[in-house]
Amino acid sequence: MRGMRPAALVAALTAGTGYTLYGRPAKKESSPSASGAAAAAAAGAAAAPTAPAAAGPAGLADPGADTEHIVNWSNTHAVALPAAAYAQPASLADLATTVSDAAARGAPLRPVGSALSPNALGLSPRGMVNVGLMDEVLSVDTATRTATVQAGARVADIVPALRAHGLTLPVYASISEQQLGGLTQVGAHGSGATVPPSDEAVRLRLSRVGLGAVGVVADLTLRVVEDHRLVERSWVESRDAVAAAHAGRLRAHKYLRYMWIPHTDAVVVVTADVVPPGVSDADAVEGAGGAAAGTPDSRLGPARSLLTEALASRGRSSPTAADIAGLGWTELRDELLALDPLEPNWVARVNTAEAAYWAAAAGARVGPVHTILGFDCGGEQWVSEVALPVPAEKPTTDVTFVRDLLDQIEADAIPAHAPIEQRWSAGSSSPMSPVAGPPDSLHTWVGIIMYLPARLGGGGSGGGSDASSGTAPPGGPSRAAVTAAFAAYKRALAERHWVRYGAVEHWAKVELPADEADAAALRARVDRRFPVAAFTALRDEVDPARLLSNPLLDAIFGEGEGGRPRPRGPAGKEERKAGG
């Protein structure tokens, strides 16, 4: 371990693996380097009052030469801040200087990575630090199967470096652009019932799912595993068939993912298993039932026909037949949904076309683990994902939960876009993980979605791009309308199902509450599940001024005006100790 950390965090580190963190650093004795001085100046600029970003579709202020614009991956949140308040240190020394100077000045400095979190967890208009320039793989130890990487390294950067040594990461989420610091800070997960989330690779319990609130991650030493191939099989079956086969299927396969298609009886089942050494790719595919027999035309035909018919009925000539022929599945879905994204009957027809696409794509394939477990998440979107335990005494909880959601969606005619995605993971020993629990515990993750097709008009909705150039018909649905509909969709499911199933949201997908009622419900869910007092006491110790916070974290933990009092002194330390 390297770097300067508060004594309490140093004591909390265990031998083997962990983070290098910056909370409230010790005073530097040496002068900063030239680049470190520049980073310090950037952080210091954040101490000056910063006007909030202008209201509008993107949440961005007017563009300017000295303004930094940060937009999240889903294009649903953005901030603008002075370029001098956006620090990008290139070395450990630069980062230490940046954080030390920010602490001395009382300058906000929210850690941000690739801005992949759908809720913009890392964004703040007051000041940010991004370690994306610190992206090296520092060492790989094949004997202990560990790798030390800088926190700014992306999954896509790490994979080839590990594969050169015959190794790979033990868990993959869906997107390879994730930086390792952010991946573990939010507790991102994969799809294996016996595979814990990514944070389990490090051992600083209250800080490894620290939400960027207890320090800036500089580097990580991760457990890695032997590189291997997976054989994936996908097919479509009915809801009843899924429920009947689920228990055995979960035990039989290394990885499992369901994509439930609302307003249809179709469920896409995706399994993946390790290919034993010595088994060829061809034999593995054959053993899994053979490769997909469908052609691109057979897969995309139903969606192309539906779009062509719908355009003709509306007197529309764009996109043209040639344009349609060149679109892939996710692009076709965007064009279809853009025609009427909130009309339940139309959404049901689009979802039926999606089910037909996956049925025609059924089959098996083989590839390295990182290519099989990654998948296309679609276009711009609103998304919410919750985790809930699956008790051994109630093994059907996971499937029953989703079927209850679907029943409500269809009874209330909610225009739910497809899919409702369901995955599983083992428990995490991180107290702040949504799946905190014993290593043999089982948890399911369930996500809902609404897309924001590019052709929709802006209408003042959330979103990072200028959607006002969209070609939706005058008076048609806007991004703002989809945004409002998604909020109502999520609230309806939360009020009816989350509490009774013990579901809590993925940290990267908790949105800023719309009103005090939503805020109170959010805080109640968080208080029920997490050791908030212990986590708050740790924050009091390492960041008492909350320089690393932002409005979203303030809302989650009730620390704005009228928020909960923070534990202080010996009592606060005891609460932190109790939380791990």
Render pLDDT for 498-509 as a digit per residue (tens, 0 to 9). 999 999 999 989
High-pLDDT (> 70) share of the chain, %: 75
Give per-residue pLDDT as tens, 133-170: 988 999 999 999 988 888 888 888 888 889 999 998 87
Among candidate residues 463, 308, 310, the one with its CA nearest the CA of residue 382: 463
Q: Tens of pLDDT along 353-410? A: 999 999 999 999 999 998 898 766 777 899 999 999 999 999 999 999 999 999 999 9
How many C-beta atoms surround the C-beta of residue 246 within 10 A? Answer: 17
* pTM given for the model: 0.81
What pLDDT, on a 0 to 100 scale, did the predictor assign at position 579?
A: 46
pLDDT for 9: 29
Backbone angles phi, psi at 232, to 5 degrees: -105, 140
pLDDT digits (tens, 9 = 90+) for 25-42: 232 233 333 334 333 333
Straight-line distance from the first to the last Cα atom of the chain, in angstroms, rounded to the nearest whole number? 20
Q: At what angle do helices 532-542 and 569-578 cross, to 10 degrees?
A: 120
Instruction: Say if strands 78-82 and 67-71 run parallel, antiparallel, or are unpaired.
Output: antiparallel
**Residue 536, pLDDT score:** 94
**Mean pLDDT across the chain:** 81
* Distances in whole angstroms, Cα of residue 5 to Cα of each of 24, 27, 221: 7, 10, 16
**pLDDT value of residue 484:** 95
Measured between alpha carbons, how far is 521 from 513 in angstroms, rounded to an integer? 9
pLDDT at 193: 65
**Structural contact between residues 332 and 201, judged by C-beta atoms closer than 8 angstroms:** no
Q: What is the pLDDT of residue 173?
A: 63
C-beta of residue 189 within 8 angstroms of C-beta of residue 435: yes
Name the residue with higher pLDDT: 152 or 252: 252
> What pLDDT shows up at residue 419?
97
Q: Are strands 110-112 and 128-130 parallel, antiparallel or unpaired?
A: parallel
3-state helix, strand, coil in the chain (%, to 5): 40, 20, 45
d(CA 521, CA 328): 40
What's the rounded mean pLDDT across residues 437-460? 87
- pLDDT tens figures, 340-353: 999 999 999 999 99
More confident residue, 578 or 226: 226
The pLDDT value given to residue 527: 95
**Structural domains in the chain plus CATH codes:** 32-130 (no CATH), 229-456 (3.40.462), 512-578 (no CATH)
Contact predicate 46/99, CB 8 Å: no
Q: Which residue has the tokens 């409500």?
A: 408
H-state helical runs in 383-515: 397-411, 479-493, 499-501
Residues of the chain above pLDDT 90, percent: 56
Amino acid at 349: R
**Highest-confidence range of 118-127, 450-459, 507-516, by mean pLDDT?**
507-516
Q: Is the pLDDT of residue 416 over 60?
A: yes
Quick one: CA torsion of 210, 212, 215, 218, rounded to 10 degrees? 100
- Of the listed ranges 251-255, 464-468, 507-511, the least confidently predicted one is 464-468
Confidence class for position 17, pLDDT limits 50, 70, 90: very low
Asked if 483 contacts 163 with a C-beta cutoff of 8 angstroms, the reply is: no
> Angle between the 397-411 and 239-252 helix axes, to the nearest 10 degrees?
150
Q: What's the rounded Cα separation, in Å, for the pair 206 and 436? A: 11
Least confident of 80-84, 107-111, 197-201, 450-454: 197-201
Half-sphere exposure of 412 (CA within 13 A, CB side): 17
Is 52 a residue whose pLDDT tops 60?
no
Confirm if 458 and 57 have CB atoms less than 8 A apart. yes
Nearest CA-CA partner of 87 in 154, 152, 156, 27: 152
Instruction: Quote the pLDDT of residue 197.
Output: 56
SS3 of 239, please? helix
**DSSP classification of residue 79:** E
